[in-house]
Amino acid sequence: MLYMEISTWEPEKRDLILEHFKELKMPAGVKVHDQWIDLTGSRYFILYECDDAEAMATFNLPWSDVCYIETVPVMKSTEFISLMSRKS
The answer to whether the beta carbons of residues 67 and 1 sit under 8 Å apart is no
Tell me if 10 sits within 8 A of 65, measured CB to CB.
Answer: no
Residue type for position 85: S
**What stretches of the chain show up as alpha helix (H) in DSSP?**
14-22, 53-60, 77-87
| Cα gap 88→85, rounded to integer Å | 5
CB-based contact 17:1 (threshold 8 Å): no
Class of CATH domain 2-87: alpha beta
Query: What does the pLDDT read at residue 66?
Result: 93
The pLDDT value given to residue 59: 92
Predicted confidence at residue 40, as pLDDT, reads 86
pLDDT at position 47: 98
Share of the chain above pLDDT 90, in %: 76
pLDDT confidence of residue 70? 96
- Average pLDDT over the chain reads 93
pTM over 0.75? The answer is: yes
Q: How far is CA 60 from CA 6, 81, 86, in A?
A: 11, 30, 35
pLDDT in tens, 28-67: 999 999 999 999 889 999 999 999 999 999 999 989 889 9
